[in-house]
Each structure stands twice: as C-alpha cells, then as structure tokens.
Chain A
Amino acid sequence: DARVTQTPRDKVTEMGQEVTMRCQPILGHNTVFWYRQTMMQGLELLAYFRNRAPLDDSGMPKDRFSAEMPDATLATLKIQPSEPRDSAVYFCASGLDGRPYEQYFGPGTRLTVT
C-alpha cells in the first residue's frame, strides 16, 4: 500500500527555534509538493519539485523557509527561525509529471509555535 509519509506528525516548539519537517514521497513519483493549511487561506502551495529540482517556491517566505530534496526518497521543509504565525498543518504530496489530478497527500505535520 504505497503512501506518502511525513514526520513528525505533531511538533510543538518555541518561537525562534528551527523546525524541520520530512516527507517520503511514493516510490516512483517524480513531483513533490509542500502545502500549508490554514483556516483563512485553505491549502496554500509553498513549493514544488520535479525530479528533485525546485520549480516554484514563490509561495514560501524566503527569509525563513527553505525546501530541499536531498534525494528522491526525501523532501524537507525547514523553518528558521519559527514564529507563532507559522502554526498550521503542513502537507506533503507526491505525484507523477503531467498528472496533476493524482497528487497523493501525506497525513500532515501539525506545527504549533508558542
């Protein structure tokens, strides 16, 4: 049963601390997306990769957020320093090039910054 995995599932941290969220896409998928869910904005796209290359990170606050794919099995999203307004659920999704209706989402990381 192939699925996207995300760790940690929950993270509580203090303002100013670094936060790293990890995602393992479905084996064979070549696109990876990071989304943030908030009540006001719904699901916002933060960044996405195709074949590990970043294609668009325009949705991400550049000064504190960074997204990388060290290899095909791992995507990371870092926030440094974290702020209370970063509190949200962060989803990773993976898919296949050219098939946008088949974005498979992970269970999300719920981040709380106090």
Chain B
Amino acid sequence: DQQVKQNSPSLSVQEGRISILNCDYTNSMFDYFLWYKKYPAEGPTFLISISSIKDKNEDGRFTVFLNKSAKHLSLHIVPSQPGDSAVYFCAARIFGNEKLTFGTGTRLTIIP
C-alpha cells in the first residue's frame, strides 16, 4: 500500500523553463512533507520541506505547494538548470514520528 505516490516516473524539461514535480498522499495523518534530490551513486539529500499548516514554502528557485484537501503537493523549479537533473523523492511524516514515508521518485532531465 503506497501511501505516498509519485505517478510520473520521469519528466523532461527544457533548460530555463519551469519543472513541476507532483506527489499525492493518502494518509491524512501526515503533517510534514519533504522533497529529497538524488544524484546517481549518491544518497538522497534534503531539498525543501513544508508543514501542513502552510500551503507554500519557497527557497530560491524551489517552491513547494501543498493542497491538503486534495492530498497533493508539488515542487516547482524555476528556472530549471542542467544541474537539476536528478531523481526527486517526495516524503511525508506523521506528527511526533521520525519515520519518513517516501514515494517512488521522479527522474527529472533538464535538456540544454
């Protein structure tokens, strides 16, 4: 039972354009959401997060949007750069629990 879903295994975007990565979740107990970025042969690294009390969090070129009613979040990268090519994982946490539940990942390729 996949509680965090990333339905697009891959995405290709032209350099300079906006990249939008999507994530859906089923467990209404999740209260904190994170995005991790992973390069080949490396472990995932934390990118950006959002609490359920917010609907938007911005950090430079990266913005995460949360729609609780739809149980949906998205990561926007603008403008996209070649170094953004990586696998992006969405993750979620239940309040008071250190466990993270991850999605299956989306491979983003930025086309120069």
Given contacts A48-B99, A101-B32, contact A108 B105 (CB under 8 A): no
- How far in angstroms is the closest Cβ of chain B from A76? 18
Q: What is the interface of chain B, defined by CB distance below 8 A to chain A?
A: 2, 4, 6, 32, 34, 36, 41-46, 49, 89, 91, 93, 97-105
A103 touches B46 (CB 8 A): yes
A103 touches B104 (CB 8 A): no
Q: What is the interface of chain A, defined by CB distance below 8 A to chain B?
A: 4, 31, 33, 35, 39-45, 48, 50, 55-56, 91, 93, 95, 97-98, 100-108
- A77, B104: Cα distance in complex, Å: 22
B32 touches A100 (CB 8 A): yes
B32 touches A105 (CB 8 A): no
Given contacts A42-B105, A43-B89, contact A93 B43 (CB under 8 A): yes
B98 touches A50 (CB 8 A): yes
- A103, B43: Cα distance in complex, Å: 11
Residues of A within 8 A of B104 (CB): 39-42
A105 touches B98 (CB 8 A): no
B98 touches A48 (CB 8 A): yes
- A54, B91: Cα distance in complex, Å: 22
- How far in angstroms is the closest Cβ of chain A from B101? 7
B102 touches A101 (CB 8 A): no
- How far in angstroms is the closest Cβ of chain B from A58? 10
Residues of B within 8 A of A108 (CB): 41-43
- A97, B44: Cα distance in complex, Å: 19
B43 touches A4 (CB 8 A): yes
B43 touches A45 (CB 8 A): no
Tell which of A43, A93, A95 has the most Cβ of chain B within 10 Å.
A43
Given contacts A100-B93, A100-B100, contact A105 B44 (CB under 8 A): yes
Residues of A within 8 A of B2 (CB): 41-42
B99 touches A42 (CB 8 A): no
Q: Which residue of B lies closest to A39 (CB)?
A: B104
Residues of B within 8 A of A55 (CB): 98
Residues of B within 8 A of A103 (CB): 46, 100
